[in-house]
Amino acid sequence: MPYWHDDIGATFVALMQDADALLLGRRTYVTHAQAFEPMAPGDPFGDLMNAPKKYVVSRTLEKPMWRDTTIIRDNVIESVRALKAQPGGSILTDGSSQLVHALLEHDLIDELHLLLYPLTLGSGKRLLPNGVHTKYALTSAKPYPSGVVGLHYARQ
């Protein structure tokens, strides 16, 4: 955790305050479920992560592992459009690169909150899929003392 800073956590908590739902791919969902579902009520971070509804996109997950979860097996894009049309707060996605690529390809992402780390690891997953031409405007850039930069973009 050499790049962690408590201000990063504070920014994440602020994002989560407005979240009604988490939309995750299966691998990210399983990792989060294993970490947060067992947390006892009263743990501030556990309460924050366990409170929103969870939606997991998966054809292989047999049953939910985390409270208040709906599995989306088919018609992912239509299901996400229906979720976005409901009244309420934000729908957040964490990790879930394949899902994020599909959402970007179908113009279903309104904002991007990115953390840029001062670290090169070689090849890895692409942040953005080929062929996506949605325009986003930088609304804020926040450097943290650890060298990480938080970037917030909103669709133009």
Instruction: Compute the distance between CA of residue 149 and CA of residue 34 in angstroms, rounded to an integer.
Output: 28
pLDDT digits (tens, 9 = 90+) for 88-110: 999 999 989 999 999 999 999 99
What average pLDDT does this structure show over 112-130? Answer: 87
pLDDT digits (tens, 9 = 90+) for 33-90: 999 999 999 999 999 999 999 999 999 999 999 999 999 999 999 999 999 999 999 9
User: Does residue 1 have a pLDDT over 80?
Assistant: no
Domain of 120, CATH number, reads: 3.40.430.10
Average pLDDT of the residues of the chain: 94
Q: Does residue 81 lie in a domain region? A: yes
Q: Does residue 88 lie in a domain region? A: yes
Residue 102: which domain range? 6-155
Are 25 and 58 in contact by the 8 Å Cβ rule? The answer is yes
Res 131: pLDDT: 83
Are 104 and 134 in contact by the 8 Å Cβ rule? The answer is yes
Look up the pTM and report it: 0.92
Q: Does residue 1 lie in a domain region? A: no
Which helix (H) or strand (E) segment holds residue 80: the answer is helix 76-85
Res 15: pLDDT: 94
How many separate domains does the chain show?
A: 1
